[in-house]
Amino acid sequence: MEATGTYGETLALYLHEAGYLVSVVNPAAIKAFSAACLSRTKTDKVDAALIARFCLAQQPQVWSPPATEVRELQALVRRLESLIEMRVAEENRLSSGISVGAVRHSLEEHIAYLREQIKQSEQLIQKHINNAPDLKGQSDLLNSIPGIGPTTAAPIACREHKH
């Protein structure tokens, strides 16, 4: 299957737990294979056949899921990133010169709420890392690098465990 983010990860995990061999492939590799095969038609049925031919030809590596504590850390980090994106979007709206007081107030309250949620998410991430010995060791090692702190170490730890 093509790597498609959270939905694809959930499907890959489900199939793996059901006993299927799963390969998660970068979509760019499938696209390059498609171009090499001169495939121009784009339907679900054609895509499925193309991915099957890719697997036969390329024998991609079998995927195995990261450990539960890593998957949980990945989910927490994704949530933190989403909260930060929402806060930045709201701050941008606020700085665009909102003239209606009620809208400005709503934005300010939402930004304050998002800041609190970000703080709580950061605390959850740190607690999670501290409770998982492997993640704690990796985090401590990353934090020993000048310029790397907990906010940067957690996403790096997530990427190190992707398969």
Query: Which tens digit of pLDDT belongs to each residue from 62-73?
Result: 999 988 999 899
Per the DSSP assignment, residues forming a β-bridge with 25 are 2
Do 50 and 87 sit in the same domain of this protein? Answer: no
What is the per-residue pLDDT for 152?
A: 74
- Is 63 inside a domain boundary? no
Task: Give me the domain span that covers residue 148.
Answer: 68-160
Provide φ and ψ at 43, rounded to 5°.
-130, 165
Q: How far apart are alpha carbons 163 and 155 in whole angstroms?
A: 15
The total of structural domains in the chain comes to 2
For 100-125, b where at least 16 C-beta lie within 10 A, e where not — what string? eeeeeeebeebbeebeebbeebbeeb
Statement: residue 163 has pLDDT above 50: no
Do 86 and 153 sit in the same domain of this protein? Answer: yes
Do 94 and 154 sit in the same domain of this protein? Answer: yes
Do 51 and 73 sit in the same domain of this protein? Answer: no
Do 72 and 100 sit in the same domain of this protein? Answer: yes
Give the residue-averaged pLDDT of 87-114. 95
